Amino acid sequence: MKIQDIFIALSVPIILGFGFVIAKPTMEYLPPYLLMGLRFTIPALMLVWWFPLPKGLYLDLFKVSFIGSTLQYGLTYTGLNIIDASSAVLLVQLEVPFGIVLAFFLLKEIPSLKNIIGLIIAFIGTYILTGAPNLEGKYVGVLLVLSGAFTWSLGAIMAKSISKKIGAFALMTWLCVFSGPMLLLLSLFFDGNPITYFLSADTNSWLTVIFLAFFLQPIGYGAWYYVLKRYPVNKVMPVLLILPITGLITSIFLLGEDPPRQVFLGGIIIIFGVGIILFTKFKKNKEVK
């Protein structure tokens, strides 16, 4: 990777990890679907005018936006609303082993023995983490976050080929165009009149909305699709290992969470297992020009 691309890649887990955690207290005022609907709709309204219509890709964009954005964020952030942010940010790291399993079935990529071992270790870490006291009785939240990690992996695999056709920021924008209205409709159906929530939201909640809509979505995901387009997945994915570190630090200092030792133990095992998978050398893979 070029130095500038390394910095762009490193910005992704830092921005995502921070945004993931600060969204938790905001959901006391703005429900998950409404918050995510605002996060996608605002950048869509700002950026859609700068990119041409993606003719011939509408169905593909709809599929990716529904699976990788609408469904994924609905599952993940609903789960986040149930469990501690420090635990959720570690659980979502299983998107990496999920991606390897999906690549096996969808792309016919056969994982090496090293990858299989890493996958088993990562799931052992998840078992330890879900047994932690602060997740006791919150297994629905755990299941939702894990389901969100699975759908994120599927969406990422589907999005990679589209990014090569229309570009990273165009892809991010059109996914927002498709996902935003769907999330707002789901919020209207499940949560009711959004005006009630808008009137009750405090200043910190609206600051979070501004960060998610103006910084996290366009910059974080624009950077993600940029490096995903230019480099093989196995070179890009390792940077996401920084996300739980960012999330843990943010949840401890900003939310005052005090994760028990089991969370750190399970998290370390998950990261170790995922690291075994990610830091395997693939000599045949070349940088995409």
- Of residues 137 and 287, the one with the higher pLDDT is 137
d(CA 67, CA 157): 11
Per-residue pLDDT of 195-233, as tens digits, reads 999 999 999 999 999 999 999 999 999 998 898 888 776
Domain ranges of the chain: 3-278
pLDDT of residue 275: 78
Judged against a pLDDT cut of 80, whether residue 281 lies above it is answered with no
Tell me what the mean pLDDT of segment 185-190 comes to. Answer: 92
pLDDT of residue 131: 67
Q: What's the chain's length in residues? A: 289
d(CA 129, CA 4): 36
pLDDT of residue 286: 46
Average pLDDT value over all residues in the chain = 84
- Of residues 222 and 279, the one with the higher pLDDT is 222
- 14-23, 126-135, 166-175, 254-263, range with greatest mean pLDDT: 166-175
Report yes or no: 214 and 221 within 8 Å, Cβ to Cβ. no
Q: Model confidence at 82, in pLDDT bands (50, 70, 90)?
A: confident
Judged against a pLDDT cut of 80, whether residue 19 lies above it is answered with yes
Dihedral sign computed on CA atoms, order 72, 73, 74, 75: positive
Angle between helices 3-26 and 242-253 (to 10 degrees): 40
Judged against a pLDDT cut of 90, whether residue 101 lies above it is answered with no
Burial tier of 161 (Cβ tally within 10 Å: 0-12, 13-18, 19+):
exposed
Q: Model confidence at 278, in pLDDT bands (50, 70, 90)?
A: low
pLDDT of residue 282: 44
Report yes or no: 170 and 54 within 8 Å, Cβ to Cβ. yes
Distances in Å between the alpha carbon of 151 and those of 55, 76, 157?
Answer: 25, 10, 10
Within a 10 A sphere around the Cβ of 25, how many other Cβ atoms? 15
Block residue for tokens 């005052």: 256
pLDDT of residue 139: 86
Distances in Å between the alpha carbon of 111 and those of 108, 115, 179?
Answer: 9, 6, 32
Burial tier of 136 (Cβ tally within 10 Å: 0-12, 13-18, 19+):
exposed
- Of residues 242 and 26, the one with the higher pLDDT is 26
User: For the whole model, what pTM was predicted?
Assistant: 0.79
d(CA 201, CA 54): 36
Per-residue pLDDT of 110-163, as tens digits, reads 777 877 888 788 888 877 876 666 777 788 989 999 999 999 989 988 888 888
